[in-house]
A and B are shown apart, each in its own frame.
Chain A
Amino acid sequence: MSDESPAAADGMLVDQRGLTSRSHRGAASSPAVVATSTVLRQLYSLVQRYFPQILVAGIALSILFVYTTGGLTLMGEQIKNALVLGAIYALVAIGYTMVYGIIELINFAHGDVFALSSFYALIIATSFGGFVNSLATGSGIGLLVALVILFVTTMAAAGFTGMAIERVAYRRLRDAPRLAPLITAIGVSFLLEGFMLVKFGADNVPTKNDLWITGTALTLGKVSIAWTDLFVFATAVALMFTLGAFVRITTLGKAMRATAQDRNASLLCGINVNRTISATFFIGSALAAAGGIVYSLNYHSIQWSLGYRLGIIAFTAAVLGGIGNIVGAGIGGFVIGIIYVFGGQLAGGEWSDSLIFAILVIILTFRPTGLFGVDVTTRA
């Protein structure tokens, strides 16, 4: 990467990716100001260095607090909720991180692709006179077939939507200043939101699939885990592992990693960069669609503006895991799910969103590389 800023002598504010640069060049006038700024700077570097430890300690403390107030049942219940929510965040976060890894763009519309794909799923489940829906509620095999139909069609539709977005809004701006595609991304996001608002109305839309997967799978102590919870978690983990294998093993995955490392060099090696980037968008959007499907299966209610906040939260997960790092995004999704649920338990549910946004600001301020921020050259 060519945008690494020159390392400062003390190396304090400079991380390996050059996200930050030396900022303290103003001459401080009075000794008090100097002392204060020194203390602040030391605090800053302290937080920066021990960021993962502080985060883990905070999460552990909040879980402990929930345990002391609500006992094992509440804790177990909340851990289950956190893992289910985290699985959805992880699925969406992977799309953010893949796209950022390959073209360094915060794909603002990704959250809205998630919301749109949950509407796709609704359309597919209720089309053909409710064929898929009746199939799913009929028998066990029928449910399996219905799920396969739903996942394949919705993921394909969302993938092509993602490819179309890239083709129309981002490709022409690939060599433009960095903020230009970000602004079109915001435009695409608003276009999708507006489309969903006009098409599906401003109210919550019931997804009509609450009879698909029902019942309790198992009970651990007093915590009952429903089949949907298990299904969401298993789907997310399975898809993530599949993606990991895909990126590591296949030729296209290799092309993606090469393009992420150096686009021009991969062009010289004969990689079809345009096709690779399109494929990245397809896969990212398809995973978001999987997230949308499991969201609608688990929560039974979707809304046009669903993708906006969920998108920011998933982006926070991607940043937390180190943007560009697929494994990191997966883990970050679960961590953010835990923070969301337990933070909401501690401070009151209405503060959950604010908490995540505050964490987003804090991560980007103190540790823009995230927990598993790796060198740019090794990003996938």
Chain B
Amino acid sequence: MPSLGLGRLLTRERVDPTARRPRGAGTSTFWIFSIGSATLLFMGWLLPWFVRPTSSGIGYSPMDVVSSAPTGIGTFLVYLLGIGMLVMVLSPFAELFYRARKRAVPERLDQVRVLIAVFGLVSTVVVFLLTRVIQEEQLFGPIDAFTITDSAVWLTMVGYILAATAYGLRGWVIRRPTTAFAALALPVGILLPLMFHQAPVFILWAAGSLGIYTLLALGLNVVVGFAGLLDLGYAAFFAIGAYTCGSLASPKHSIHLPLWVLIFLGAAVASMFGAVLGAPTLRLRGDYLAIVTLGFGEIIPDLATNNIGKLTGGPDGISSIDQPIVHLPFATINFGINKEWYYWSVLLVVIVVIVLLRNLEHSRVGRAWVALREDEVAAAATGINTTSTKLLAFAIGASVSGLAGAFYGSIVTIVSPDDFSFSVSVSILSIIVLGGIGNITGVIVGSFVLTFVIFWMLQYLNEWSATLGQTINVPSLGNIDYSQYTYMIYGVALILMMLLRPGGLIPSRARQIELTSGGEEESLAAVQGIA
């Protein structure tokens, strides 16, 4: 186990430039260091753009910070950090240039980067402390200094620390990338909401969209990725979970069960529906099963719209769903106000689900799923009960979806049939196709990418483009509604991924072998209709 490596980072031993990376590390450490620090710096720089105060209506952007009257040392620091950021962002390209020329990367580039890293680290800590000590002083002119420095400084700092640690622990990172990723991502993930004092929008995105969609994608991954059954009506189970939560924790039926009961109840009800749907239909071939689930996925929101049994509230759905209030000895946590608790709850559930699914994947059942996916006849011949194994995958997938649905209902406090249309099923499918079918890490990455683009970027693109349109005098830019491109993004993601990289961004190893082996006689899986 190497030491933290910060010392080595500061005092680099001088060796032959052609062989200056440690053994086994290769190029990737440099990429980790460069890209990691650069992107995080970039994020820190861009962050004021995302963070908006709830009270004052001023819109922030990095340009606002730069163009505001330079009144203090803070602005100067921001300029310096910006230049540093630029160097960090450009340095990988410089490196690329040298590599393309088959020349050794000059030592000086590395020294500059180390210097910038140290400077950024120190200065961010200083600025952070300064803003904490003298909050009254407006470092950035008329703009709310607190928010900007807080978020930017926090994130830049985290970026530096991450990059430095990754660089120091490069050997370990390369040997055990998953553990390293978890060890780095977990603290950041837990601390994330604390960095945003005035950004409930962010929390809602992180908990509501990212967390819920990650859960859904993990669940669908069991059905599609592990067992190889395409489920196009996955949103139906989501709807069942959400309506379970809505019915049992709202004034609608005057029942108020706590969320902790409801998430299990939602999971149980959804998995029951999954079993009921799956039992007669799972013997169908792949594409037929997909269509049956599609039909099911259309029927469930229709039932809700038509207010079956006066249970679902028709097209308006169920509103004012309870948000939990937890009384602790030292404090009272109202989830409706302190929304970061939703984030933490969802994060906890996601982690638990990931651990459970990982274990399941490598268990006897998981191996049975793989066997079934590869060749159903051979699997049956080895004594696997194909029906109950498929049914189990279906039920487990449905239960994760129901759990996510219960959380969703509680977070958004209103469920209506429109939230569970076919496009939801397709968005979840896009996530796992994008990330990598059958690979848990890939699915998580996929949900990050897609929910960021769809639920975060597209929302803000409207405002950004309006601001840009005003700046460059093209007011028509403000009239474009970018959120209507959602469908096209899903479509393009599905087509391009299947055509160009069918394994996804991070393909699962087994799946990669299957997909590249090809040929009709190669595997019966092709004939049996398993993607």
**Residues of A at under 8 Å CB distance from B?**
2-3, 5-6, 13, 19-21, 23-26, 44, 104-106, 168-169, 172-173, 175-184, 186-195, 197-198, 202, 308-309, 312, 315, 319, 348, 350-351, 353-354, 357-358, 360-361, 364-365, 368
Q: How long is the Cα–Cα vector from A186 to B285 in the complex, in angstroms? A: 18
Given contacts A188-B495, A354-B306, whether A179 and B290 have CB atoms under 8 Å apart is: yes
- Measured between beta carbons, the chain B residues less than 8 angstroms from A368 are 284, 288
The answer to whether B518 touches A308, judged by C-beta atoms less than 8 angstroms apart, is no
Q: Does B204 contact A (CB under 8 A)?
A: no
- Measured between beta carbons, the chain B residues less than 8 angstroms from A44 are 280
Given contacts A180-B502, A361-B295, whether A198 and B429 have CB atoms under 8 Å apart is: no
Shortest Cβ-Cβ A-B pairs, 5 listed: A187-B494, A179-B531, A194-B487, A191-B491, A194-B488
- Measured between beta carbons, the chain B residues less than 8 angstroms from A319 are 291
Q: Does B462 contact A (CB under 8 A)?
A: no
The answer to whether A25 touches B385, judged by C-beta atoms less than 8 angstroms apart, is yes
B20 → chain A closest CB, angstroms: 44
The answer to whether A361 touches B499, judged by C-beta atoms less than 8 angstroms apart, is no
Q: How long is the Cα–Cα vector from A368 to B289 in the complex, in angstroms? A: 11
A201 → chain B closest CB, angstroms: 9
The answer to whether A179 touches B286, judged by C-beta atoms less than 8 angstroms apart, is yes
The answer to whether A357 touches B299, judged by C-beta atoms less than 8 angstroms apart, is yes
The answer to whether A312 touches B426, judged by C-beta atoms less than 8 angstroms apart, is no
Q: Does B165 contact A (CB under 8 A)?
A: no
Would you give 30 A-B contacts (Cβ < 8 Å), ordered by A? A2-B527, A19-B284, A19-B288, A21-B376, A23-B386, A25-B386, A26-B385, A106-B287, A106-B291, A179-B286, A182-B290, A182-B531, A183-B494, A186-B232, A186-B426, A186-B494, A187-B490, A187-B493, A194-B487, A198-B484, A202-B484, A309-B298, A319-B291, A350-B306, A351-B302, A353-B298, A357-B296, A361-B281, A364-B284, A364-B288
A156 → chain B closest CB, angstroms: 24
The answer to whether B491 touches A194, judged by C-beta atoms less than 8 angstroms apart, is yes
Mark each residue of chain B from 203 to 216: 1 if its CB lies under 8 Å from any CB of chain A, else 0: 00000000000000
Q: Does B479 contact A (CB under 8 A)?
A: no
**Interface residue ranges of B300-315 to A (CB < 8 Å):** 302-303, 305-306
- Measured between beta carbons, the chain A residues less than 8 angstroms from B531 are 176-180, 182-183
Q: Nearest chain-A residue to B481 (Cβ)? A: A198
- Measured between beta carbons, the chain A residues less than 8 angstroms from B502 are 176, 180
Given contacts A23-B386, A179-B290, A364-B281, whether A184 and B530 have CB atoms under 8 Å apart is: no
The answer to whether B292 touches A364, judged by C-beta atoms less than 8 angstroms apart, is yes
Given contacts A106-B287, A178-B286, whether A187 and B492 have CB atoms under 8 Å apart is: yes
- Measured between beta carbons, the chain B residues less than 8 angstroms from A191 are 487-488, 491-492, 495
- Measured between beta carbons, the chain B residues less than 8 angstroms from A19 are 284-285, 288
The answer to whether B495 touches A354, judged by C-beta atoms less than 8 angstroms apart, is no
- Measured between beta carbons, the chain A residues less than 8 angstroms from B519 are 175
With contacts A178-B286, A188-B491 known, what are 13 further pairs, Cβ within 8 A? A2-B527, A3-B528, A6-B377, A178-B526, A179-B290, A180-B502, A183-B531, A186-B426, A186-B429, A194-B491, A198-B484, A198-B488, A350-B302
Q: How long is the Cα–Cα vector from A193 to B485 in the complex, in angstroms? A: 10
The contact of A364 among B291, B422, B520, B528, by CB within 8 Å, is: B291
The answer to whether A350 touches B305, judged by C-beta atoms less than 8 angstroms apart, is yes
Given contacts A198-B488, A312-B298, A354-B303, whether A26 and B388 have CB atoms under 8 Å apart is: yes
The answer to whether B422 touches A308, judged by C-beta atoms less than 8 angstroms apart, is yes
The contact of B284 among A20, A169, A173, by CB within 8 Å, is: A20
- Measured between beta carbons, the chain A residues less than 8 angstroms from B493 are 187
Label chain B's interface by main secondary structure.
helix
- Measured between beta carbons, the chain A residues less than 8 angstroms from B132 are none
**Interface residue ranges of B351-400 to A (CB < 8 Å):** 376-377, 380, 385-388
Given contacts A3-B527, A169-B495, A364-B288, whether A354 and B283 have CB atoms under 8 Å apart is: no
Given contacts A19-B284, A178-B529, whether A106 and B290 have CB atoms under 8 Å apart is: yes
Q: Does B350 contact A (CB under 8 A)?
A: no
Q: Does B230 contact A (CB under 8 A)?
A: yes
- Determine the interface band of chain B, counting residues with CB < 8 A from chain A: 35 or more
The contact of A353 among B291, B294, B302, B528, by CB within 8 Å, is: B302
- Measured between beta carbons, the chain A residues less than 8 angstroms from B306 are 348, 350-351, 354
- Measured between beta carbons, the chain B residues less than 8 angstroms from A195 are 488
- Measured between beta carbons, the chain A residues less than 8 angstroms from B499 are 169, 172-173, 184
- Measured between beta carbons, the chain A residues less than 8 angstroms from B484 are 194, 197-198, 202
- Measured between beta carbons, the chain B residues less than 8 angstroms from A106 are 287, 290-291
B393 → chain A closest CB, angstroms: 15
Q: How long is the Cα–Cα vector from A20 to B282 in the complex, in angstroms? A: 9
Q: Does B138 contact A (CB under 8 A)?
A: no
The answer to whether A312 touches B294, judged by C-beta atoms less than 8 angstroms apart, is yes
Given contacts A26-B388, A190-B491, whether A358 and B288 have CB atoms under 8 Å apart is: no
Given contacts A179-B287, A357-B302, A365-B280, whether A194 and B295 have CB atoms under 8 Å apart is: no
The answer to whether B498 touches A173, judged by C-beta atoms less than 8 angstroms apart, is yes
The answer to whether B494 touches A190, judged by C-beta atoms less than 8 angstroms apart, is yes
Q: Which of A24, A104, A186, A348 has the most CB of B within 10 A?
A: A186
- Measured between beta carbons, the chain B residues less than 8 angstroms from A202 are 484
- Measured between beta carbons, the chain B residues less than 8 angstroms from A175 are 518-520, 526
Q: Does B486 contact A (CB under 8 A)?
A: yes
- Measured between beta carbons, the chain A residues less than 8 angstroms from B228 are 179
Mark each residue of chain B from 9 to 42: 1 if its CB lies under 8 Å from any CB of chain A, else 0: 0000000000000000000000000000000000
Q: Does B433 contact A (CB under 8 A)?
A: yes
The contact of B387 among A23, A350, A360, by CB within 8 Å, is: A23
B282 → chain A closest CB, angstroms: 8
A6 → chain B closest CB, angstroms: 8
Q: How long is the Cα–Cα vector from A187 to B492 in the complex, in angstroms? A: 6
The contact of A179 among B387, B426, B490, B530, by CB within 8 Å, is: B530
Q: Does B525 contact A (CB under 8 A)?
A: yes
